[in-house]
Chains A and B, each alone.
Chain A
């Protein structure tokens, strides 16, 4: 049932939409906060009927499902926002935004949210070395298979020594890359860089330069986040 806002007197309907996109290439140098500001501009430019927050400084209300670290790419990044026009279709969102995006942001789809962002529990990270790492393979596998991997981890509450192994759901060491499934989301999470730094600290070997692509997101049952 449409609500009526006393301030505007306008009939008021809104629905949430979820936008899936890739953040690639140069866009990896755009931080989370900058990305937030930038996407708001793009949405304003597109003139899609986005819902504006009420108050002194109205702005489109957008939420990132899971903030992405500076320097990482993602082929499954997600933004939620609200539309205040029920008749505006998801396909129209894609059509309106596509022509405005810079190189490095590619829309995948727009759909009605199915899960809550708070359900996100794991994420896949593809660590790409761009060169053969077969020499490292055995020691990496041994390291990841250990029962405890103790390391200092920064959290909002300060630096704590934790067992990284508790955050490591799964892994696969390839010839040129490493796939890690790590805890992700608000309460528990692990940055793959911390895991690799900790490997370097604990072994005599050093890791060649690598790039990181965050891939699929999952809930606690390892169902794809939708």
Chain B
């Protein structure tokens, strides 16, 4: 299409700056001088994808090599998708504007289940056959995927040639090197894929055959040929020496998180039983404060950011947090850079340090107690007590905060009506605490916002065996919670429950869901994470027409001895450990965190990290 016509079309859509490329620090190479072209696809919009740290890391790391050119691809918003379809514009990579079917690799990062239809839609928009079996030779790209959802890759098994399990910095490049070698030796695509399956951290779904029992559960999973029986994830052992970008792409349009991100550790010591991230990223490995400080400064210098966020699953568990902040404050104040600490527990944090880093716009404080009673918090192993919440609120109110956000989940295992009432009671205690503070600003009311999500059981957590609350039971629970709230100072907001069901089905799904995804794609479904695009009716139809019962996947209790669709995937958290944790949950017994005591989950097999710290 000629450039002028293309520009004209771009001017008809919202935020065209998302589709042009050419941002500062984006990498343009001569395509004739590279051996491997990699289209890194984020299956959601530009603003979401451009905020994602994993993509920034791998983009820079791949492009640091002269023989690889990695480019970015995002899902178009609905208006531009329509323009693309009407004008036969294939989906293209932002750097070269070449259609993605011209690439050696098309790689997707799977961050959430609701993006699966976007994966299919993007392949379709690129003119790439959706199924692996329809891409037998080198005339089509190798389609790969990674990210947290790859821990249960089965719902996408028909579409993805190669899954990368765990952290990608090493395994991705090993596969790219193997690809180069195979092309040089003129091997076939299927020979390459079979060889790739021998690399640790590589899962090739087409090399496994799954059979089912009459009741629909899995009878067996057979590895074909010499494919490994189980595939273990990869981790990076030394975070100080692994590649970390010294610059991010500086986007023109506003993105969700427009700031420097410095990752301070991977994994989490806490072991909250509902949290998948807390298990699949084990073991905890920290970056040293000196390295983190240097990297954070480089990012700010090179990209002009005015904020740097210290990122991890629970930044207050970073052992060097005080020395890191001390070092960062030596330059951040002068450079007008503010430091953001998401998920910080401020109750045992030095007050002077807190005051220094606190952004002046102190408006809202956020807690995630997740459950309303101590009993249920013990079940889910969320080690935060009511006293801690109230004492932190006290501190915060004294220093001028007037708003508190509390996050909870509905439908947790063993939940009773008392637990729901407990949510309202806890919020009420926060309100009371505010009014018991004599120094509060008169005439300024407190606002406590309760945000309630529906609990979705995930693979590789102790709750992977649990039934998800039935869709029809959710409104009753919501009503009960609402009726327990007695003041307008407390507001309650919800998450859409049908999307939670969809999330739950695909999170613990098996390969039979591939057909449902195909059907959903035929019906034009995509961008399911966006309320304005989500189409409940069409999803019901898709399941119906495929004869798939969502209850089988979402609201069925799994026995401990059932073969789960991801049992041949090894995230080094043993099933035995998860079963034991599940039993403890039902007894309401908590488990100590990794720094207090080793619970022999299995992550020690890597020989690194918190498992080997002195206790």
Chain A residues at the B interface, C-beta cutoff of 8 Å: 25-31, 33-35, 37-38, 40-45, 52, 56-59, 70-71, 100-104, 130, 209, 211
B contact patch SS: loop
**Which residue of the partner chain B has the closest CB to A28?**
B7
- Chain A proximity mask over B1-44: 1 for CB below 8 Å, otherwise 0: 00011011011000111011111100000000000000000000
Instruction: Decide: A45 and B23 in contact? CB cutoff 8 A.
Output: no
**Which residue of the partner chain A has the closest CB to B26?**
A102
**Which residue of the partner chain B has the closest CB to A39?**
B304
Q: Which residue of the partner chain, among B17, B19, B304, contacts A40 with CB atoms under 8 Å? A: B304
Tally of B interface residues using CB under 8 Å: 30
Q: Which residue of the partner chain, among B19, B258, B302, contacts A45 with CB atoms under 8 Å? A: B302
Instruction: Decide: B22 and A45 in contact? CB cutoff 8 A.
Output: no
- Chain A proximity mask over B299-310: 1 for CB below 8 Å, otherwise 0: 001111110000
Q: Please indicate the chain A residues that have their CB under 8 angstroms from the CB of B305 in the complex.
A: 41, 44
Known: A29-B17, A71-B11, A100-B24. A38 touches B4 (CB 8 A): no
**Which residue of the partner chain A has the closest CB to B300?**
A44
Instruction: Decide: B24 and A34 in contact? CB cutoff 8 A.
Output: no
**Which residue of the partner chain B has the closest CB to A131?**
B4
Please measure, in the bound complex, the distance between the C-alpha atom of A209 and the C-alpha atom of B254, giving whole angstroms: 29
For the complex of A and B, the 9 pairs showing the least CB-CB separation, nearest first, are A41-B304, A44-B304, A45-B304, A56-B360, A29-B16, A30-B252, A26-B20, A26-B22, A71-B11
Q: Does B291 contact A (CB under 8 A)?
A: no
- Name 28 interchain pairs, CB-CB below 8 A, sorted by A: A28-B7, A29-B11, A29-B19, A29-B20, A29-B252, A30-B252, A31-B15, A34-B252, A34-B253, A38-B250, A40-B304, A41-B250, A41-B304, A42-B24, A43-B304, A44-B336, A45-B301, A45-B303, A52-B336, A59-B336, A70-B11, A70-B16, A71-B11, A100-B24, A103-B22, A104-B22, A209-B5, A211-B4
Q: Does B361 contact A (CB under 8 A)?
A: yes
Please measure, in the bound complex, the distance between the C-alpha atom of A125 and the C-alpha atom of B20, giving whole angstroms: 24
Q: Please indicate the chain B residues that have their CB under 8 angstroms from the CB of A57 in the complex.
A: 360-361
Instruction: Decide: B23 and A102 in contact? CB cutoff 8 A.
Output: yes
B258 CB, nearest partner CB in chain A, Å: 8
**Which residue of the partner chain A has the closest CB to B15?**
A31
**Which residue of the partner chain B has the closest CB to A128?**
B4
**Which residue of the partner chain A has the closest CB to B25?**
A102
Chain B residues 248 to 263 lying within 8 A of chain A, measured CB to CB, are 250, 252-254, 258
Instruction: Decide: B7 and A58 in contact? CB cutoff 8 A.
Output: no
Known: A26-B21, A41-B303, A70-B16. A58 touches B336 (CB 8 A): yes
Q: Which of A44, A104, A209 has the most CB of B within 10 A?
A: A44
Q: Which of B19, B23, B306 has the most CB of A within 10 A?
A: B306
B145 CB, nearest partner CB in chain A, Å: 30
**Which residue of the partner chain A has the closest CB to B338?**
A57
Q: Which of A25, A27, A37 has the most CB of B within 10 A?
A: A37
Q: Which of A28, A30, A31, A209 has the most CB of B within 10 A?
A: A30
Q: Which residue of the partner chain, among A30, A43, A44, A209, contacts B8 with CB atoms under 8 Å? A: A209
**Which residue of the partner chain B has the closest CB to A33?**
B254
**Which residue of the partner chain A has the closest CB to B360?**
A56
- Chain A proximity mask over B121-161: 1 for CB below 8 Å, otherwise 0: 00000000000000000000000000000000000000000
Please measure, in the bound complex, the distance between the C-alpha atom of A45 and the C-alpha atom of B253, giving whole angstroms: 18
Please measure, in the bound complex, the distance between the C-alpha atom of A170 and the C-alpha atom of B390, giving whole angstroms: 70
Q: Please indicate the chain A residues that have their CB under 8 angstroms from the CB of B16 in the complex.
A: 29, 70-71
A70 CB, nearest partner CB in chain B, Å: 7
Q: Please indicate the chain A residues that have their CB under 8 angstroms from the CB of B250 in the complex.
A: 38, 41
Instruction: Decide: A42 and B11 in contact? CB cutoff 8 A.
Output: no
B294 CB, nearest partner CB in chain A, Å: 18
Q: Which residue of the partner chain, among A26, A34, A44, contacts B306 with CB atoms under 8 Å? A: A44
**Which residue of the partner chain A has the closest CB to B362?**
A56
**Which residue of the partner chain A has the closest CB to B7?**
A211
A213 CB, nearest partner CB in chain B, Å: 13
B9 CB, nearest partner CB in chain A, Å: 10
Please measure, in the bound complex, the distance between the C-alpha atom of A33 and the C-alpha atom of B305, giving whole angstroms: 17
Instruction: Decide: B17 and A31 in contact? CB cutoff 8 A.
Output: yes
Q: Please indicate the chain B residues that have their CB under 8 angstroms from the CB of A209 in the complex.
A: 4-5, 8
**Which residue of the partner chain B has the closest CB to A72?**
B11
Please measure, in the bound complex, the distance between the C-alpha atom of A71 and the C-alpha atom of B234, giving whole angstroms: 46
